[in-house]
Structure 1
Amino acid sequence: MPVHAPGPVVIRRYAPADENAVMDVWSRAGRAAHPFVPGEGEGERAREMRETHLVHAENWVAESDGRVVALLGLMGAEIGGLFVAPEAQGTGVGRRLVDHAAALHGRLSLDVYEKNTGARSFYARTGFEEESRRVDEEYDEVILRLVRKAPEDPA
């Protein structure tokens, strides 16, 4: 059963002072979502997260009671990653971040592992539809390309 965020959620830009909290959320959420990815949430993947994604993406955090509970990384209108702390999943925080991204960019796209059924279900509930699929050669896993039309896009 999900634990509801105890206080109001604030969405704000990521700041370098958030790095440790964001890395904790990313690591725990990533390991839970991607148990089939060797070393998820640590090692080389953590270094890449710190040195590349947190530096070059447009990152947003969701805070509840002054604590970072989620991270959204954008590259233009593409969601490069959405990570919600396991204890905050099911509270609406992820939906709030997706809606924030849509308000900024309209049409959104993202890639998600086919085996990540929790994320796939979440994205379906938030209006994403499968556009294509490919195999991630590094891990030999199927990746789905999902898109969510902007509200003004024709159906």
Structure 2
Amino acid sequence: MIRKYNDNEIPTLVNIWEQSSRIAHPFLTEEFTLMVKQAMKETYLPNSNTWVYVEANNILGFISMIENEIGGLFVSPKHHAKGIGTALVNHMKQFHKNLEVEVFYQNKIGKPFYEKYGFKVFKEYIMESTNQKVLRMKTN
């Protein structure tokens, strides 16, 4: 089941984000990861349109949207490659004809996922705070 998240679920979402992020972004510094973790709790989740994927009363993944942009899509590592990310993106397609996302070039999980889904790169830049290449992608 996919539903909107509740504020009291933020700790669960941050935990899923941290587990997934450490696997997808091993190239990021610990300092940057801790900074984003705090921002997830205080800024990103409270200010985005976030939906959760729930199975047997457990949140297995979530997607956070800012208008038509996927601000974050994270699935518990134990549940990767089971269609949860695809289900969440498909759910958002009901509300937005075209979706956009930014993904680190070195992200060996997210980048192939978005490419498989049909997202195409339309811009690249170096994120100053990480010195990492970021791809801006969108659906057609």
TM-score (normalizing by structure 1): 0.86
The C-alpha deviation readout for 1:17-49, integer Å capped at 9, x for no partner, is 211211110110011111111127953221100
Q: Tell me the secondary structure at the aligned position of residue 49 of structure 1.
A: helix
For residues 42 and 141 of structure 1, the distance between their equivalents in structure 2, rounded to whole angstroms, comes to 14
Overall identity of the aligned pairs, in %: 29
**Where does the alignment leave 5 or more consecutive residues of structure 1 unmatched?**
1-9, 150-155
- The residue number in structure 1 matching 2:17 is 26
The C-alpha deviation readout for 1:107-143, integer Å capped at 9, x for no partner, is 0001000000221111111111111100111111000
CA drift of 1:148 comes to 0.6
1:140 to 121, 131, 138: 131
- The residue number in structure 2 matching 1:36 is 27
For residues 79 and 9 of structure 2, the distance between their equivalents in structure 1, rounded to whole angstroms, comes to 17
For residues 31 and 97 of structure 2, the distance between their equivalents in structure 1, rounded to whole angstroms, comes to 30
- The residue number in structure 1 matching 2:85 is 94
For residues 131 and 17 of structure 2, the distance between their equivalents in structure 1, rounded to whole angstroms, comes to 22
Structure 1 contact 25–85 (Cα < 8 Å) conserved: yes
- Number of aligned residue pairs: 140
CA RMSD of aligned residues (A): 1.4
The runs of 4+ residues in structure 1 deviating greater than 4 Å are none
**Where does the alignment leave 5 or more consecutive residues of structure 2 unmatched?**
none
